[in-house]
């Protein structure tokens, strides 16, 4: 399992990157796509690559980015090109990029 601890300043940066919905704030917080992915992984899973979470609506979130099977895959079956429960951060990141390119950040 991959683990990383964020400093308070990094945590605050992540908070503003994830929470800001106004482009002006996003731009001025220096939130790059890479930093947003790191912040998202921290907020969703605390960088736990093998975590799953059962939601009250019966859906399940998978992996470091906590990708929900209601939005991306059905019945917990992942597309063959998308490994969600993997210690390979590059593979999980590529999956997240694919989802964002197809469905936008609202998939989270």
Q: Annotated catalytic sites, by residue? A: 44, 61
Query: In sequence order, which residues have a C-beta less than 8 Å from that of residue 55 and are 6 or more positions away?
Result: 61, 68
Residue 67 CA to its chain's centroid (Å): 7
Q: Which two tokens stand for residue 20?
A: 């800001």
* Whole-number Å distance between alpha carbons of 35 and 9: 13
- Three-class SS of residue 53? strand
């Amino acid at each position: 399992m991959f683990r990383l601890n964020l400093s308070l300043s990094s945590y605050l940066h992540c908070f503003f990157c994830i929470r800001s919905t106004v482009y002006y704030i996003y731009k001025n917080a220096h939130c790059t796509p890479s930093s947003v992915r790191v912040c998202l992984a921290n907020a969703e899973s605390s960088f736990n690559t093998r975590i799953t979470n059962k939601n009250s609506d019966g859906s399940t979130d998978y992996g470091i980015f906590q990708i929900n099977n209601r939005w991306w895959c059905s019945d917990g079956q992942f597309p063959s090109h998308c490994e969600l429960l993997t210690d390979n951060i590059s593979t999980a990141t590529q999956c997240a990029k694919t989802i964002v390119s197809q469905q936008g950040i609202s998939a989270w």
